Structures are given as C-alpha cells and as structure tokens.
Amino acid sequence: MASPSRSVVGTFMRHYRTAHHEALACRAKDICKEKLDGSNIQAILTYRAKAHESLLKKLENRDKKKHYENEEQIQEDIVDLAGVRIALYFPNQRDLVADMIEEAFDCVNWRSHPSPNSSDRQDGTRDRAYRPRFPGYEAKHAVVSIKKDNAGKVQWFQGDVVEIQIVTVLVHAWAEVEHDITYKNIFDKATLDEKIILDCLNGLVRSSELLLYQLHQHYMARITSAKDSFRDGFQLGNFLFERIESSMLKDIDVPRDTVKTRLEMLRKFLEAVRKDTQKDLGPILDALGFEADPDPQNSKNPSLELARISEKYLPFQPSLYMRLPFCIMAYILSAIPFEECVAQQNTVTGNSRCKILLSSISWLRELSESTHAEQAFREVDMTEKEEIARDWLFTGAKRHNILQGEEPDDFDYQKLRVLWEWFEKQDKHSIYSFVFRISKMGVLKEPLILSDLSWSSSSEGSDSESSVTLD
C-alpha cells in the first residue's frame, strides 16, 4: 500500500496541468516585456512551465524530507511551476526591474537563490568531490500573483503563482550550460575536469559582470552629459574639436588651436534655438560633414559644405577662426522660417533697441576682422538719414545712459528707429540681417564695450564709460 505522502504526490501530479502553468508563465512574461520595453531596458525573456517528468522527480526527492500531507503543502513548497527569467544585459538595472515587478504584480515575495542559510547546491545536494571556488547560480527571485484585471485570457485559480528570476545574460548562459551538464546528466555524471571548467567560466562571468557594470556607468554618464547644456565656450569648443579631429579631411581649414576660443556667440545662439547640447548639435555637425564615425563612401566633404553655406553670404567672408561657428549658425537659421524667428527681446523700448543694434555691430566685428567690418559698414548703401543714424550708433554720447535704462529723447529715438528699419529691410542672406536677427533672438554681446564700438578713425564720442553689462 502506498504511503500517504506518496499518494499526495501522485494526486498532485494527476491534477497538474503543464499547459495551464505555461499560459500563466507566458502572460507574466508579456507583462514583464511591456514594462521593460516602456523603460528601454534590454533583456532576454524566457518562460516555461515545469515539465511533468522533472516535476515528479523533484517532488519524489523532496518528499523524502518533507513528507507532504496534502496538495496545499506541495503548492506552497514548489513555487516555480510557472517561471519567467529576465536576463539583463547590464547588472546595474536589477533594482530598477525589481521595482517594475513590484508595480506590475500582486503579492510579490522576494527570495534569494540560493538561500543565504544554505551551503548546499541545487535541491540540497552537496558535491563532495569538488568544492567550487566561485559561488554557483545566484539570482533574485520574485514569487508573484498576476493581477486579476491584467490576467487577459489566462484562467486564474486561487494559489496560482509565477516565479520571476532576475539574472544577467551572462549568468543566464552559464546557468543553462551548468544545469544541463551537472544536473540533467545528458550523458553521464559531470567529470571533475568539467566541473573545474564550469567553475572557471563562472569566475569569468562574474568578472565580465563587473566590466558590464562599469560600461553601463560610463555609458549613462556620457548619455547624461550629451543631454546637458554646454556650460561654457570651452566645453563647446572641446566637442567641436573632437568632431574636427574625427572628420575624414584632416586638412580642413578650421584652425584647431582657435576652435576652443571665441565661441560665446555660437554658444548663446545654440541656447536661444535650444540646440545647446551634444545630442542636438551632433546631427547638425553630421550634416556638415563632421561625423563622429565617418563613412568613407558616403561622408560629406566638410570644406565643401562650409563653402556652400558661406557663398550665400557673399561678398562677406567670416574670419578663419569664426568660419565654423558662423556656418553652424547659418545652417540652423536656414531651417527656421524667417517669420517664425520670434524676437526673444523687448523690441519696443529705446534702450532695448539700442542694446540689440549695438550687439549686432559687436557680433559683426567678431565674425570678421574688426577693421574689415567697420570699413564694410561705412560703405553700405544708405540714405543720408540712415548714414546719420549709423554714425550716431558709433558716436552718440547718450548711448551709455540709454543702455543703463534711460529712455532716449525724441532726437536719439529717431536715430534708433531709422537704423532699426534699415536692418529690418536687409536681404535674409545679408550679414547685416544675420547679426540683427540673432541679436533680436536674444543672442546679445556681453559686455558691450562702447569704446570698441566707436569709429576707429574718430575720437568723437569715444565713450570713456568702458563697458556695459546687459541684464
């Protein structure tokens, strides 16, 4: 006559339905996948239900110690009838995935595998012939219930649980091999040499996990940095310098020793158009031929791309060290409809208009050699009234007071209005329209040194006020 416990095992096995637990496992896997995809976490997901033969063997072995009295005891003891394994690419993401499981399932009960109190190998067996130098399979296991409103088409019964294992891809691969060789005994019991090799591989897996941890840390820091705004012109210059160095044409005529300097105009412009991060500026540099990973067959020629943009602004040519910053700004502006370039500065008051006009001239001088910019501005086609307004911008005695917030009188405001209207009517590919447009967008020179904004050939109104900082 069969013992009661043997009868319990037999009864449980007659009631056990592999298909039902496989459906449970599949549904749990789908829920996990949805959560992982939503967080862009890379992982390999597998699921399974306990096979009838292996479950029977396991129960018979455990029954020798447990002496099951009823089926409920078996169900409480064997929690992996339905199982999901989440094999992560990066070990750093274990805790994040654990939080997702807590949110997605009911009755989450965490277990460490193997148990901290157990020194035995799987199923309580101990290998006395060889003691591994490295710990065996280790993972974080969650025993969960599927929420009733998330069960889908799966029929859910009281007591149904799924075991979800969180491991890394490397541990997953090692565990599959180790389990087949050591426990399934495909051909025969694993030899001592095979156990030593498995142990060595386990050590390599653990070392590799540490490297993956460090790789993920560096990767996330780089991604975070790519989304951060450039702190200053030097950081922006470093990024540009790296792109120039990686471009295929090493003879590109942008002086590398000056790329990291005099970039405040570009930095402020990128901030104004919300492209002041590596993530946003990178595609623009790619389009100009400064690719991080150039393709010898398809990459653009940076020299030709810069020349193509510069030609639109002829006869103006930026100075050599300002050519790349100018072309970047011009390229971005070309994609913004002229009428959509909304002014970010107050363009009504006299002092704000004075700041914008003076900033336009200051940027013009920075883009070109100062004497060249001054000479060009002296020779532009203007009416007599416009020439008077232009000269006032370089020599007006009240500029300092106006910039400090004092509203101009009718005489000075008239000069500002005339020159403002002159800038507004310039062709969009005029350098004067360019500096005026970006100044209206909020790209203002700071500080404005009025003595530098006086005609070099005239001492009149040299403005001893030195500089004015724009608020």
Arithmetic mean of pLDDT, 284-311: 84
**What pLDDT sits at residue 462?**
40
Spatial separation of the C-alpha atoms in residues 357 and 390, rounded to whole Å:
10
Return the closest-CA partner of residue 80 out of 29, 167, 154, 143: 143
The CATH code of the domain at 4-115+130-219 is 3.30.460.10
Q: What is the mean pLDDT of the chain?
A: 81
pLDDT over 70, % of the chain? 81
**What pLDDT sits at residue 344?**
64
Return the closest-CA partner of residue 441 out of 338, 369, 372, 319: 338
pTM for the whole thing? 0.58
- What is each CA distance from 86 to 142, 179, 361, 434, in whole angstroms? 11, 17, 62, 55
Parallel, antiparallel, or unpaired: how do β-strands 82-88 and 448-449 relate? unpaired
All structural domains of the chain with their residue ranges: 4-115+130-219, 233-336, 341-468
**What pLDDT sits at residue 263?**
86
**What pLDDT sits at residue 341?**
59
* pLDDT at position 280 over 80: yes
pLDDT, tens only, 105-129: 987 888 876 655 554 444 444 455 6
Spatial separation of the C-alpha atoms in residues 380 and 369, rounded to whole Å:
17
Spatial separation of the C-alpha atoms in residues 352 and 346, rounded to whole Å:
6
Residue 260, burial from CB neighbour count under 10 angstroms (0-12, 13-18, 19+):
middle
pLDDT over 90, % of the chain? 28
Spatial separation of the C-alpha atoms in residues 12 and 75, rounded to whole Å:
9
Per the DSSP assignment, residues forming a β-bridge with 43 are: 88
pLDDT, tens only, 224-260: 677 788 888 778 888 888 787 766 444 455 545 455 5
**What pLDDT sits at residue 250?**
47
Specify the higher pLDDT residue, 68 or 218. 68
pLDDT, tens only, 416-471: 999 999 999 999 899 999 999 999 988 998 877 776 677 765 434 444 444 444 44
Spatial separation of the C-alpha atoms in residues 438 and 333, rounded to whole Å:
9
Spatial separation of the C-alpha atoms in residues 189 and 197, rounded to whole Å:
15
Residue with tokens 């300097």: 261
Arithmetic mean of pLDDT, 141-150: 90
Return the closest-CA partner of residue 279 out of 233, 222, 341: 222
pLDDT, tens only, 305-336: 889 999 999 888 888 888 889 999 999 998 87
Answer yes or no: are the C-beta atoms of 307 and 252 closer than 8 Å: no
pLDDT, tens only, 336-360: 776 655 566 667 788 889 999 999 9
**What pLDDT sits at residue 312?**
92
pLDDT, tens only, 158-210: 788 999 999 888 887 777 777 666 655 544 577 788 778 888 887 888 778 88
Spatial separation of the C-alpha atoms in residues 96 and 45, rounded to whole Å:
16
Q: How confident is the model at residue 103 (pLDDT cuts 50, 70, 90)?
A: very high
**What pLDDT sits at residue 350?**
86
Spatial separation of the C-alpha atoms in residues 244 and 208, rounded to whole Å:
34
Q: How confident is the model at residue 21 (pLDDT cuts 50, 70, 90)?
A: very high
**What pLDDT sits at residue 316?**
87
- What is each CA distance from 424 to 291, 429, 433, in whole angstroms? 36, 12, 7
The secondary structure of the chain, three-state, reads CCCHHHHHHHHHHHHCCHHHHHHHHHHHHHHHHHHHHHCCCCEEEEEEECCHHHHHHHHHHHHHHHCCCCHHHHHHHCCCCEEEEEEECCHHHHHHHHHHHHHHCEEEEEEEECCCCCCCCHHHCCCCCCCCCCCCCCEEEEEEECCHHHCCCCCCCCCCCEEEEEEEHHHHHHHHHHHHHHCCCCCCCCCHHHHHHHHHHHHHHHHHHHHHHHHHHHHHHHHHHHHCECCCHHHHHHHHHHHHHHCCCCCCCCCHHHCCCCCHHHHHHHHHCCCCEHHHHHHHHHHCCCCCCCCCCCCCCHHHHHHHHHHCCCCCCCCHHHHHHHHHHHHHHHCCCHHHCCCCCCCCCHHHHHHHHHHHHHHHHHHCCHHHHHHHHHHCCCCHHHHHHHHHHHHCCCHHHHHCCCCCCHHHHHHHHHHHHHHHCCCCCCHHHHHHHHHHCCCCCCCEEHHHHCCCCCCCCCCCCCEECCC
Spatial separation of the C-alpha atoms in residues 434 and 330, rounded to whole Å:
8
